[in-house]
Structure formats: C-alpha cells, structure tokens
Amino acid sequence: MGRGFTLLEVIFVIAILAVLVITAVPRLNLSPAGLDAAARKIRSDILYAQSLAMSRGVPHGILFTAGGSYILYQGSPATPITDPLTRTSFSEDLDRFYQTFVTNDYQVEFDLIGQPTIGAGGNVVIQNGVATKMIQIGANTGRVTIP
C-alpha cells in the first residue's frame, strides 16, 4: 500500500487551515498602516487649508485637539469650512484609523501667501499605542513633511 494521504484527509486539513486563517486575520496588528494613512490624511488636510488661504486670500487653518479630532476653518475655529465631499463641517476623527490619536493640542493658520501665522514651526504628533508619527510644518515656508 502507498503511504500517501487520501483526498478526504487533504480536504479536511485545508478546511482547518482556512478556519484558522479566517479567525487570525482580523487579529493581525494593522496599526502601522493605519498610522501611516492618518499621517498622510493630516498632511493632505493641512495642505488643503494652506491652498484655501492662498486661493481665497483669507486666513485658513486647522485646529487639532488632543485625543484625535481636528477641524479646518476660515478666519477662526468658530467658522469651520464646508467639506466639499460631504457638504458638512470639515472635521476628522482619527479614531477610524485603527485607534490613532493626536497627542497634543495644536493649531496652525496660513496667510494669503501660504506662510503659517499661528503655529509656525510646529509638529502634530500622532500615535496608536504601538508607534508614533510626526507631521512637521515649516516655520517660514509652511512646508508640510512627514519625516
């Protein structure tokens, strides 16, 4: 007799492995990807506020609150801008990026030439319990980088 496996045994082992994979995948730690996505989203929104200030000739900014949310505004945080996608106040809750949160309160505001007038030379620090990322805003240029 041969010493191989029967087709039934192979199918049974594949079924057990499939069940293990299905239960293990949701438990994988995807936090670095979520943290990177949150950092890119924040950078994009800061650049959007800067471009609005330059195109409209009115100061625009972004206000971060420790814990994980921020709003984009025109003139002052009391007047949030409208999100062109949702037609509601432009705000973001970072918790949707795998429990990512902002570690400090921070505000940056740009003038009509794109220079930061409030929060110049500052950093937005985000973390998710596993890793930390920083988004830097240049003091004189308003250049936004993720080191």
Using alpha carbons, select from 104, 127, 123 the residue that is nearest to residue 32: 127
CB atoms within 10 A of CB 41: 18
Helix (H) / strand (E) element for 43: namely helix 31-56
Of residues 19 and 119, more confidence is placed in 19
Q: What residue segments make up the domains of the chain, in order of their start? A: 30-145
- Helices then strands, each counted (H, E), the chain: 2, 9
**pLDDT of the residue at 103:** 76
**pLDDT of the residue at 24:** 67
Q: What's the rounded Cα separation, in Å, for the pair 115 and 18?
A: 54
Q: Compute φ and ψ for 97, nearest 5 degrees.
A: -95, 60
List, in sequence order, every residue forming a beta bridge with 145; answer none if it has no partner: 136
pLDDT bracket for residue 29 (50, 70, 90): low
Q: What's the rounded Cα separation, in Å, for the pair 15 and 49?
A: 52
Predicted TM-score (pTM) of this structure: 0.76
Best-predicted range by mean pLDDT (1-5, 67-71, 120-124, 132-136): 132-136
**Superfamily, domain 30-145:** minor pseudopilin epsh domain (3.55.40.10)
Percentage of the chain modeled with pLDDT above 90: 45
Contacts of 140 (CB under 8 A, 6+ apart): 115, 120
Average pLDDT, the chain: 86
pLDDT tens column, 68-117? 789 999 999 999 999 988 999 999 887 777 667 787 888 999 999 999 99
Q: What's the rounded Cα separation, in Å, for the pair 127 and 108?
A: 19
